[in-house]
Structures are given as structure tokens and as C-alpha cells.
A = this chain, B = another copy of it.
Amino acid sequence: MTPPRTPPRTALRDPKQDRSRATRRRLLEAAVACLAEHGWTRSTVAVVAERAGVSRGAAQHHFPTREDLFTAAVEHVATERSAALRALHVRERQERERAEERGGAEVVGLVGVLVDLYTGTLFRAALQLWVVASYEEQLGARVAALEARIGRETHRMAVELLGADENVPGVRESVQGFLDMARGLGLANILTDDRARRDRVVAQWARILDDALRAPH
């Protein structure tokens, strides 16, 4: 083990900067929650500021325009999703090392966990932004770039988690199609609680995916 390093002089904490960072983070999290619950139309800077317990002036200091706030919120969504996926990956790897071997039952569990990433608040917020970005040109380019980055990262994680070998022809598309299914299942959960149906679909498709990854076409 390496000894803990003493913090460099520039990293000394500045209480004012800390407060500013905390305010910024509260605004971003409020923006994500607002988007997920109330959609784009009702998610104004004023509504987000009130939810965050921040003055409108302070909100506008951090994010001069509505687009700035929600673009930064997309970044925040992306970072949170990434962190959740990384944490999941580490846990799964530890469990795999303890079990020493992978089996079909494990793939079924992994498929369920990956699908769950598309049914929470982060997916709801991302979906709202995705849909609005389809006709809001300025937002569109930024969100498209972000989504491409998230898509690549999610794919990489899924490949690692599932222990898939992308050198085998078809395996890359098998994993991609599975993530498209997960996205579709997330969308099906937006209007009504779709859990019962989703659980049955996940159980069936986890078996199909497991076969496809073991005996690729």
C-alpha cells in the first residue's frame, strides 16, 4: 500500500468555493429531478432554483441560460450513470472472483441489473432531454454528442459485465440489441408500472442472450 499523500498547497479547501460547488451540485440534481418528474416545459430555471433552495440570482450566476443549466444537467446525468455502472462492475467482478466461475444464472442476474439502469430517475430525465433535443437544435448537438459517449461507455460496461468476447462475429450486435431492448423496456415503463411484464421478458431474454453469447451465430 502507498502512504496517503499530503494535499498540494493549491488543494487547500476554500469554504467559499466549497459552498459554490455545493450550490452548483444542488442545482444540477434539482434540474435532473425536475426533468424526470415534470418534463422540459415545466422545468424552468426558476422552478429548479426553488427546488434546490437557491435564489434565482445565484442560479443565473451558475447557469446564465436555461440551455446551460440543462446541458450541464445532462453531463451530470451522464456522470452519475457512469459512476453507477462502474460501481456495478466492481461489485460484479468481486462476486465473480468469490464464485470463481460464471454460469447461466449469473447472466440472468446481470441482465436484470443492466435493464434496471433504464427504469430509474436518471433514465427518465435523460429521456426527456433526448426527446426535447430532437427538435431543439442548440440542445440537439450537445445531447447527441453526450448520448454517443454514454452509449459507448454503457456498451463497454455491458461487454465486460457479461464477459462477452467481441472478437467473435455477431457478439457485438448481440450486446447492442440487448441494450436496445433495455432502452425499450425503460420507455415502456414511463407511463405505467411495467415491472411484472418486464420481469418475465428479462427472464426469457437473459436465457436467449446467454445462449447467443455462448454459441454465437
Contact = CB atoms under 8 A, between A and B. Distances in A.
Contacts of A203: 173
B188 A183 contact: yes
Contact of A38 (B135, B179, B197): B135
B190 A39 contact: no
Interface range on chain A: under 10, 10 to 19, 20 to 34, or 35 or more?
A: 35 or more
A173 B185 CA distance: 12
Interface string A141-169: 00110011000000000000000000000
Interface in A183-200: 183-188, 190-192, 197, 200
B197 A176 contact: yes
A134 B143 contact: no
Query: Which residue, of A136, A192, A197, A204, has the highest number of chain B Cβ atoms within 10 A?
Result: A204
Interface in A30-55: 37-42
Given A132-B39, A217-B208, A181 B177 contact: yes
Contact of A181 (B180, B191, B200): B180
Stoichiometry, as copies per complex, reads 2
A62 to B, nearest CB: 24
Given A173-B201, A177-B181, A144 B40 contact: no
A205 B39 contact: no
B192 A144 contact: yes
Interface stretch (A2-10, A76-84, A89-97, A123-131): A123-131
B174 A204 contact: yes
Nearest to A178: B181
15 contacts: A39-B134, A41-B41, A42-B135, A124-B134, A130-B190, A130-B191, A143-B191, A144-B191, A144-B192, A147-B191, A173-B205, A182-B184, A183-B187, A208-B212, A208-B217
Closest 4 CB pairs of A and B: A184-B184, A183-B184, A173-B204, A180-B184
Given A38-B135, A134-B191, A208-B208, 12 more contacts: A39-B131, A39-B136, A134-B190, A144-B191, A170-B204, A173-B200, A174-B205, A177-B204, A182-B184, A183-B188, A184-B184, A184-B187
